[in-house]
Amino acid sequence: MRLQGKVAVITGGASGIGRATVLKFIQEGAKVVIADMNLTQAEAVAVEVDSLGFPGAAVAVRTDVSAYGDVEAAVALAVETFGRLDVIFNNAGIAGGKALLDHDPEVDYAPMIRVDQDGVYYGILAAGRQFRDQGTGGVIISTSSIYGEQAAELSFTYSAAKAAVISFTRSAAYELAEFGIRAVAITPGRVGTAIINQFSEELRTTFASEQLRNKMTEPDEIANVVAFLASDESNVINGTVVHVDDGYSSFKQRLDLPTF
C-alpha cells in the first residue's frame, strides 16, 4: 500500500473527486480527514470507510475553505487525531458561469474567488506551516482545471481562479522546497461528477467528445493519479501541472472530414 502510515486532509471530500480520493487513500493505507461544507455527507463517507473494513481511518469535519480558520482547524484535527500531517489535497471548489458583461461582482466573481482561489491558498499556507513545524516534509496537491490554462465559454472567473491555483503551485514548490515540501497541481477535464451529470444527455455527449477516449473521466480515475502524486513514488514531480484531462488540451474538436 503506497500511502501506508500517511495522514491526509482532503477538502471537498464528501463528493465527486474528493470522495473517490478519500476511498482510494484509505485503500492505500492512509488516514484521512474529510473536510467539507456538507458535514452530513462527509460523515456518511466516514461511515462508508468504516463499513469497508477500515474503522476509524477517516474523520469528518465541516470546513468552509473560504475561511482560513476552518482550513487551519482541519489541519489541526488531522494532527490531533492521527498524530501528524503528510498530504493535503486542496480539492474543494464551486463552478458556474455567466457572460462577463452580465456579471454581478458579488454573485459571479467574489464567491468563486473565495472558494476556488483563496481556499487553495489557505490550504497551502496551513499545511505548509504544519509540514515545516513537523520537520518531516509533505505533499500539497491542488485541483486546478483545463480552464486554468485556456479561455472557455462563460468561465471568466472560474478560469482566473484555476489559473491562480497553477501559479500558487509553482510558487509554493519554489518557496517550500527547502522544507522538503512538494507542490503539484492537477487539471481535470470533463469528469462525471454531480456538477456535470446534472446537464442534458446532449450536452454530456458533447463534453465527452472533447476527450480522446470520447467518454467522461470517472472520479476514480482522477483519484488514482492523486494517490500516486501523494506517494513517495512521485518524489521527482514537483512544481508542475499534471494533466488528467484525457487529451482535452491536446486538440480542439473532432471533424467529419470530407473524402479526398
Catalytic residue IDs: 158
Q: How many helices (H) and strands (E) does the chain have?
A: 9, 7
Using the structure block, give the residue that is written with the C-alpha cell 481556499: 119
Which bin fits 180, alpha (ψ -120 to 50), beta or left (φ > 0)?
left
Which residues are CB-neighbours of 204 under 8 A, at least 6 positions away? 196, 197, 216
Q: Which amino acid is at 224?
A: N
Contacts of the segment 98-101: beta carbons below 8 A, 24+ positions apart:
98/154, 99/154, 100/156
